[in-house]
Structure 1
Amino acid sequence: MKAISYAQTGGPEVLRLTERPIPDPGPGEIRVRVRVSGVNPTDWKSRQGVTTGGKMAFPEIVPNQDGAGIVDAIGPGVTGFEAGQRVWLWESAWQRPTGTAQEYTVLPVRNVVPLPDNASFDLGATLGVPALTAHRALTVTEGGPARLAPGALDGRAVLVAGGAGAVGHAAIELARWAGAEVVTTISSDEKATLARAAGAHHIVNYRTENAAEAIRKIFPGGADLVVEVAPAVNAELNEAVLAQGGTIAVYANNGGESLTQTIRPLMTLNARYQFLLLYTMSDTVKAHAIEDVTAAVAAGALRVGEEAGLPLHRFPLARTADAHAAVEAGAVGKVLIDIE
């Protein structure tokens, strides 16, 4: 089978198209014929060795955490799946040497999820890192819901920073599905159009208007929850717009690794910062997120494509290096790799 792999950390140029044997599933495992592989920032950061100090976790690695495809073979002891079933994949390459940038992949059954009939493989390949991260960000508030469903966030004011990104897009859609009122910050008219298509009730361009004043006009009582992609850059803004008892859920470090925060105002607000990373969340939290995200997909609440606010950028398997480079360069929308 064809696969993309790398044997040393570095830039996109370390990725190579290779031939590998088709793997057989062992006990508790499923082999999936991958149709679409999704690329996330975590994939190029892993390839560069950002999280491993430049070291290779395995002698050779097939990248990419997310994907969607068709069940091809089932290992001993696996129930609830059958050959030909459509599925989506998550954490494919977490602490494992093989991800979804290949024609076939073998995964533990926990990393394989049935894909609702109304969902495309493109949508399935975007659910892992972005949607599961967004779910966690929306369920960390004190006194708030641990699960998402229609009505779970009724009456909540949610600010999504960077609503044109993949996680921001998923956060907008999930928050709306759960009943929240959503405002998002963007930096251009193009991104405003995308955030509006995703379903944001209110759009604030932080380059052309006073973001704090605009958000306070929308949410006089402040934002109950901020889904934050750039905490170092937005610390002052978040302090200015956060509601009493509000939460800032941080899922990325765009704009800087160090955060400087004024303490007393947040003490007065009884505010909280919640930092989160999908890979190290508890199994219970992940299980709940998978169930809720799948329900949202079945309800038509999660969508992809230009008309849904998440443009798709497609590459063939042989151009996986270009796909990684596009994500690293900040491509607006979602980068996908067509395996077939």
Structure 2
Amino acid sequence: MKAALYRHTGPAAEVLSVVDVETPEPGPGEVRVRITASGINPTDWKTRTGLTGQEPDTFQIPHQDGVGVIDAIGEGVDATRVGQRVWLFLAAFGNRYGTAAEYSVVHADLAVPLPDDAPDELGACLGVPAVTAAHCLLVRGAGREALRDTTVLVAGGAGAVGHYAIELAKHAGARVVTTVSSEEKGELARAAGADLVVNYREPGLIERVQAFTDQVDRVVEVALGANLELDLAVSGAGTVIAVYANEPDDPVIPTRRLMVANTAISYVLLYGVPRVELADAVSWTADAAAAGALSPLPVTRYALDDIVAAHEAVEQGAVGKVILTP
């Protein structure tokens, strides 16, 4: 099969190549997926550069997310899954066969059925961003039903996780306020269903959010240090701030203010989420997709041969989702 891979970490142009490798066979409990589109996340290029401290033992085909059709199964997998259209997540986690190839082999639980009428663009956009958003909304909570009539603050509503946090929260019946950095990104957040969109680069941010709500029940946070003053200004008893991204410098945590407010911070890294909690987030994402409640981000397409340019685009902060089509 044709695949993009790297044998050691470093800059995209220096380590990524597109080669022919042997098509993998699924082992017990695994499925093989013929990939029709591969989505690129920030963790994909960060792992490839070596920022996560992971070096390939022989080679690594990158990318955690993708969409395709199951064409082979391993022992113990239901035979009816052959021919099933699926979206993938965490495909390259502990596995050299990520989705930047014509085929990927993953554990059957990581291949989730995709509705027949959903476009490939949606399947390629889901995965890590949507499941992360779902877990941020569920962590320390009482389930998706408990989100009805609550208020959710989503930082960075035009990003991949932010986009799905808005759509999932709205699907659950919550009110959503979100922050963005430009009018272009504001349009994306409004299209996702946000009730209030505020440009955090403009004055009066805290006052505008406080005019919308006295207290939020949950914050889906991409930059805790930068946004802590806003988060604390609209937090109170029972608020959960779910942080899913790190920053160059660790923020100073105002323990007393959080304690007085009875507000909790939860840190979310999908790769270490307990299996039961991960399954809840995946199930909710799948149900929302089946209900038509989730939409793809604006997509920029690259051919597999152009993976270097695709990685560089994501590194430079491309808006929306960059995907490869093998």
Counterpart secondary structure, 2:133: helix
- Cα shift readout 1:217-249 (whole Å, capped 9, x = no counterpart): 0002x1111100011111122111213221110
Residue 157 of structure 2 corresponds to which residue in structure 1?
163
CA RMSD of aligned residues (A): 1.3
Instruction: Provide Cα deviations, 1:162-192, integer angstroms capped at 9, x if missing partner.
Output: 0000000000000000011000001111111
Instruction: Tell me what 2:287 maps to.
Output: 295
The separation in 1 between residues aligned to 2:157 and 2:104, in whole angstroms, is 32
Counterpart-to-counterpart distance in 1, 2:98 and 2:41: 12
After TM superposition, give the deviation of residue 92 of structure 1 in Å.
0.4
Amino acid at match of 2:255: I
Unaligned ranges ≥5, structure 1: 305-309
Name 2:121's counterpart in structure 1. 122
Contact 2:236 2:262 in 1 (8 A): no
Corresponding residue SS for 2:197? strand
Partner of 1:174: 168
Matches of 2:169 and 2:206, distance apart in 1: 21
What corresponds to 1:40 in structure 2? 41
TM-score by length of 1: 0.93
Secondary structure of 1:138 counterpart = helix
Deviation per CA, 1:90-115, whole angstroms, max 9, x where unpaired? 11000111200000111121211111
Aligned counterparts of 1:57 and 1:283: Cα–Cα separation in 2? 25
| Residue 312 in structure 1 maps to residue 299 in structure 2 | yes
Counterpart position of 2:273: 281
> Once the 2 structures are TM-superposed, how far is the Cα of residue 28 of structure 1 from its aligned partner?
1.7
Q: What one-letter code is carried by the residue in structure 1 that aligns with 2:184?
A: E
**Which residues of 2 match residues 78-227 of structure 1 at below 5 A?**
78-79=77-78, 81-141=80-140, 144-146=141-143, 148=144, 151-220=145-214, 222-227=215-220
- Identical aligned pairs, as a percentage? 50
Partner of 2:220: helix, strand, or coil? strand
CA distance in 2, matches of 1:212, 1:226: 14
CA separation of 1:80 and 1:250: change in aligned 2, threshold 3 A: farther
Cα offset, 1:193, TM superposition: 0.6
Alpha-carbon deviations, 1:307-327, whole Å to 9, x = none?
xxx211111101111111111
Q: 1: distance between equivalents of 2:72 and 2:139? A: 37
**57-66 or 162-171: which moved more?**
57-66
**What is the Cα deviation at residue 85 of structure 1?**
1.5
User: What SS does structure 2 have at the residue aligned with 1:116?
Assistant: coil
Distance in 2 (CA, whole Å) between partners of 1:245 and 1:38 is: 35
1:271 aligns to what?
263
CA distance in 2, matches of 1:296, 1:257: 35
Structure 2 residue matching 1:163: 3-state secondary structure = coil
- The TM-score with structure 2 as length reference comes to 0.96
Shift of 1:71: 1.0
Segment drifting more, 202-211 vs 128-137: 202-211
Query: How far is the alpha carbon of 1:80 from its aligned partner?
Result: 5.6
Q: 1:174 to 1:41 in 2, by over 3 A?
A: same
Per-residue CA deviation, residues 180-220 of structure 1 (Å, 9 max, x unaligned), is 10000011111111100011010111111311111110002
> In structure 2, the residue corresponding to 1:64 is in which secondary structure?
coil
Give secondary structure in 1 for the equivalent of 2:75: coil
Partners of 1:59 and 1:249 lie apart in 2 by 36
Instruction: Give, as a single letter, the amino acid of the residue that structure 1 aligns with 2:159.
Output: G
The count of aligned residue pairs is 325
Stretches of 4+ aligned residues off by more than 3 angstroms: none
- Separation (CA, whole Å) in 1 of partners of 2:80 and 2:121: 21
Q: 1:283 to 1:80 in 2, by over 3 A?
A: farther
Sort the Cα spacing of 1:16 and 1:233 in 2 relative to 1 into closer, same or farther, 3 A.
same
**Could you tell me which amino acid in structure 2 is paired with residue 218 of structure 1?**
F
Q: 2:28 aligns to what?
A: 27
Structure 2 counterpart of 1:307: none
How far apart, CA to CA, are the structure 2 residues paired with 1:321 and 1:226?
35
Equivalent position to 1:257, from 249, 264, 267: 249
Separation (CA, whole Å) in 2 of partners of 1:275 and 1:266: 15
Q: Distance in 2 between matches of 1:131 and 1:72?
A: 25
Deviation at 1:119, TM superposition (A): 1.4
Q: Is the 8 A contact 2:73 2:79 kept in 1?
A: no
Whether 2:322 is the aligned partner of 1:335: answer yes
Q: Return the alpha-carbon distance in structure 2 between the equivalents of residues 82 and 250 of structure 1.
A: 35
Q: Secondary structure at the match of 2:101?
A: coil
Alpha-carbon distance in structure 1 between the residues aligned to 2:34 and 2:157: 32
